[in-house]
Amino acid sequence: MTLRRRMTRGLGTIGSMQRRSFLLALAALAAPASGNATPAVALPRIAAVPGGVARVDLGPADTPPQVTVDGRRVLVMRPARDWSALVGIPLAARPGSTLALQVADAAGSREIAVRVQPKRYATQQLKVAPKHVQLSPEDLARHEREREHLLQVLQHWSDAPPSTLRLRTPVPGRRSSSFGLRRVFNGEARNPHSGMDIAAPVGTPVAAAAAGAVIDTGEYFFNGNTVIVDHGQGFLTLYCHLDAIGAASGARLAAGEPIGTVGATGRVTGPHLHFSVYLNATAVDPALFLPAATTG
């Protein structure tokens, strides 16, 4: 209830969408006059590393440039006078390699190369009984179906820009620093860990990390009960292993509004929230978007 109030405070009955375009219009108006506009959107910490976020200057333009990388739309924003692209860099990107951004604006089309800076992630070797890593044909088929579905959901694009790129902590608790950790089971490499795990007791409320719209909910083999929220322009957050899902697909949420409770559903060893952040359908380090960790 408090959250609803926060959303509308000072804005009367103006909806969040109108409010957003109103604020952006204000920012646009302020830019030429002051020559040094107040940032309309708070930025994440920038690091052009695998699993990080690159900020690419796109120069001035009257209308937002359209940017893609690997055929996927990229978030563009105007933190000051000029436009910037915020590009999620895949964990699998090799340091020293380049990502090719395709930029289209009123001036035409161009390509901008983003060089990937080095970053090392830990590797964990695990030896376990084969039955713990081999899926039955039924489970494997289910997982394949769900993987396809989730890949589709993560490509979701909405034109409205996010109101912020700074996230609030979805649940208080001890955070793992295991984003990017590569796990090798019995010599077989798995996908690196694509999020942050936050330890909390079963039933602890989980809050939306920013305002947005629920674009998917479901009970998945690995992820358990899951909610995915779109914050605008491919900036998505994903909440997994929930005990209960507390938000319906299609619902619009204010920042901090409950989306469910912490649980241990899916393939997990204990209760925690798995929290992932996506830009251009690419998992990036949630720590870049959150306030500095507190112990607890």
Interface residue list for Zn ion (CB under 5 A): 195, 197, 274
Nearer CB in complex with Zn ion: 162/180: 180
Nearer CB in complex with Zn ion: 198/207: 198
Phi-psi group of 164: left, alpha or beta (phi > 0 → left; psi -120 to 50 → alpha; rest → beta): beta
Nearer CB in complex with Zn ion: 114/171: 171
Nearer CB in complex with Zn ion: 78/274: 274
Nearer CB in complex with Zn ion: 52/195: 195
Q: How far is the CB of 177 from Zn ion (least distance, A)?
A: 12
Q: Which tokens belong to 92?
A: 């699998």
How far apart are the C-alpha atoms of 89 and 51, rounded to whole Å? Answer: 5
Residue nearest to Zn ion (CB): 274
Cα radius of gyration (the chain):
20
Cα distances from 243 to residues 167, 172, 227, in angstroms, run: 22, 16, 11
Q: In 121-168, where does DSSP find H-type helix? A: 137-154
Q: How far is the CB of 195 from Zn ion (least distance, A)?
A: 5
Q: Is 246 exposed, middle or buried (0-12, 13-18, 19+ CB in 10 A)?
A: middle
Q: How far is the CB of 241 from Zn ion (least distance, A)?
A: 8
Q: How far is the CB of 274 from Zn ion (least distance, A)?
A: 3
What is the number of residues in the chain? 296
